[in-house]
Amino acid sequence: MPTANLRRFGAAVVLVAAALVATGTFFSRWWTGEQGGASMAIGLRQAILCGDRGCAASGLEALGRSERAWALAGATGFAIGCVTTLFLVLAAALALARPQGSVWSARVARAATGLSLFSLVVGVGFVWTFPGFAGLALGPSPFLYLGGAALGVGGAGILLGRAGGG
């Protein structure tokens, strides 16, 4: 594959990864369920409970067991998802704007790769430590977030290899 096509392919993969991470970060449906006429959605930042009278949001620290690991992982996952999305978009923009590669393209691609890997670890930690509530099922956000993070590691790695940094 010629280097120009590889650069475009890497940028496209990174942009798709950024879109998936951003969607998984802001879409508050990591777990969803219904019980007793109320619907629930739990995301990285808060839980949303809806009933006949409307909806109410609550922070994660007030839910579940006394163990706070999953609430801290959720807060970290939200923040790192935002930063990862920013660096993935920046890496793609630099790859498209500077076809020959530069030291900054390599640095941003390296940061995007590391942040994507960190997002993947934090996201898995959030899913792993989730205390579980009766009536909840896995929603679409973990697949978007974790899939985008995994894709970001590979796509930013392509851009890193293209920029000549290693």
Q: Stretch 5-9: mean pLDDT, rounded?
A: 82
Q: What is the pTM of this model?
A: 0.85
CATH number for region 3-163:
1.20.140.150
- For the chain, the domains span 3-163
Least confident of 8-17, 18-27, 62-71, 135-144: 62-71
Q: Is the pLDDT of residue 21 over 90?
A: yes
Tell me what the pLDDT averaged over the chain comes to: 84
DSSP 71-131: HHHHHHHHHHHHHHHHHHHHHHHHHHH-TT--HHHHHHHHHHHHHHHHHHHHHHHHHHH--
The rounded Cα 114 to chain-centroid distance in angstroms is: 13
**pLDDT for 164:** 57
pLDDT at 51 over 60: yes
pLDDT at residue number 67 = 65
Q: Which amino acid is at 39?
A: S
pLDDT band at 1 (very low <50, low <70, confident <90, very high): low
Instruction: With H, G, I as helix, E, B as strand and everything else as coil, classify residue 138.
Output: strand
- What pLDDT is attached to residue 104? 82
- Assess whether pLDDT exceeds 90 at residue 84: yes
93-142, pLDDT tens digit by residue? 988 887 666 788 888 888 999 999 999 999 998 888 887 777 788 888 89
pLDDT of residue 42: 86
